Structure 1
Amino acid sequence: MPTDDDRRAELGAFLRSSRERLGRADFGLPPAGRGRTVGLRREEVSYLSGVSVTWYTWLEQGRDINPSRQVLDALSHTLRLGVPEHRYVLSLAGFAPLPARSAGDVEPPPPHLQRFLDAIGDNPAYALTAEWGIAGWNEAYQRLYPNVASTAATERNLLWVVFTDPAVRNLLGDWQLTSQRFLAEFRAEIGSRLGDPAILDLVARLSEASADFRAGWERHDIHGFESRERVFHHPEFGTVRYEHHQLRPSDQPEFQLVVYTRA
């Protein structure tokens, strides 16, 4: 069983590792010694977080100190930690984790990500949360799938609409293949979070709502994402073909952006 010393050492090592992975240009900072473009100095992290450099240094060294939750929240923001990483930092310091989200808690993406989606123009694009909630989309995606704008937030989840919305079943040219491929990709992504309440809630609701989901979930298929051609049978536009791409913003890695470009 890990001791307090072990947890402090792990917290220090995690903070240091996170700091050393940051791109300096992302913070408007020039290259460091010998043209180094990756990694912030301790002084820079402490300044950006409003934490004394001595206090931050002691944290990285695993000293026997008790940082406040406010300090850890500020450092997590500066280090651009995702929700799972932020929870990890809090747990190492002995704080209660962040409130668990349900799969229905779909908040809009940051404004700059929505502007990026809009700038993609005529190529359908949308943003997914870590639980595959559809958080944002552009007009081209809404033209492809109009129901996205009218679906309740609690059901605006990619897996939920794929397995329960008849309009999506008709829209997808290869629904059986695509639905199971999505499910295998989802399972590959959330393997370390299978016990999260948000994931358990989503899986339970889908298992009850869809026999196809339930059968696929019980097969335990795993598949990593690969760009591929997608075929849609749209009631207005006819058959359209796109190439399916996935991106992760470096400053908001908890979101994945899906973009369809004309094949």
Structure 2
Amino acid sequence: MSDVTEQQRRELGAFLRARRERVSPVDVGLPGSSRRRTPGLRREELAMLAGISATWYTFLEQGRDVRPSRQVLDAIARALGLAGAERTHLFAIAVDEPAPTSPDQVLDPEVARVVDLLDPAPTYVTGATFDLLAWNTAAAELFRGALDHGEHPNLVRWVFLDQDARYVLPDWTDVAQGLLARLRARAGRHPGVAVYAELEADLRGASPEADRWWPRYDVGTPGAGIKRVRQADGQVQRLAYTSFDVADRPDQTMTTYRRQKYGEIDPSGVR
């Protein structure tokens, strides 16, 4: 196992605490009580379910210098009911060494050419903090206003801080929560990196929703699905989208859209 930093240990503790507070005792076969002072499971209950010492688990949440094995992390993940992106995130912040410097925002020119070649399918590439690194004409027309903020406009800032985004995105709450979950996952894997801390502060300082949702520690990964977008003429169209990690640039993502065909099943299972 690689060494972990003090900031990374604190991040692990915050994630475990947020997830523990979401688990109802009834969900795991324990008696519930209306007299509980805190939401979710107690630390002692979670430790019992995971088969580990309550004191040792408390040290984990407190960010103490203890080194959980993969077997212990797996037991905690099962006790918390973690799967998919949440389980992956647990192992990433507990085991892997985070990036010590600002993430790479340099885009390969060949990737930018692919974005242009995909026009008229709206396509863009985002960096580690969701700065828009490349986009084609169709994307600029679809997400009008998102690209009007400097050399590298930021998708998260537009969604949360520009009121026009709520008009362009009829399902704004779902889109915003999903985007913030992906940012939260990346920030958790880069504790102490200034660009993430600055973006968090800006969002939470100006957006009540971001301030309320950030401590919940929802995490997500890029994927596929359906997004509704309101066009300039007021008509709402449903677009299927797919996201891909850029080769050799794990923090860069290409997302491309196409008009959804009638009767087509949503690949994400949700709107």
**Pairwise TM-score range, normalised by the shorter structure:** 0.5 to 0.7
What is the 5 A alignment of 1:1-263?
A: 100=102, 109-153=107-151, 156-236=153-233, 238-263=235-260
1:210, CA displacement in angstroms?
0.7
| More contact order relative to length (CA 8 Å, sep ≥ 6) | 2
What CA distance in whole angstroms lies between the structure 2 residues aligned with 1:146 and 1:185? Answer: 22
CA deviations on 1:162-204 (whole Å, 9 max, x unpaired) are: 0011111101020011101111122123321132111001000
Give structure 1 stretches of 5+ with no counterpart. Answer: 3-87, 92-96
What CA distance in whole angstroms lies between the structure 2 residues aligned with 1:208 and 1:181? Answer: 19
1:208, CA displacement in angstroms?
0.7
Letter in 2 for 1:253: P
What CA distance in whole angstroms lies between the structure 2 residues aligned with 1:153 and 1:208? Answer: 23
Which structure shows the higher helix fraction? 1
1:108, CA displacement in angstroms?
6.2
Spell out structure 1 runs of 4+ moving beyond 6 A.
Answer: none
Q: TM-score, normalised by structure 2?
A: 0.55
- 1:108 touches 1:136 (CA, 8 Å); kept in 2? no
Q: TM-score, normalised by structure 1?
A: 0.57
Letter in 2 for 1:177: D
CA RMSD between the two structures: 2.7
1:138, CA displacement in angstroms?
0.5
Give structure 2 stretches of 5+ with no counterpart. Answer: 3-96, 261-271
Question: What is the percent sequence identity of the aligned residues?
Answer: 24
Letter in 2 for 1:239: V
Q: Secondary structure at the match of 2:249?
A: coil
Aligned length: 166
- 2:127 touches 2:252 (CA, 8 Å); kept in 1? yes
- 2:146 touches 2:154 (CA, 8 Å); kept in 1? no
CA spacing shift, 1:224–1:109, aligned 2, 3 Å: closer
1:144, CA displacement in angstroms?
0.6
Q: Secondary structure at the match of 2:145?
A: helix
Q: Secondary structure at the match of 1:146?
A: coil
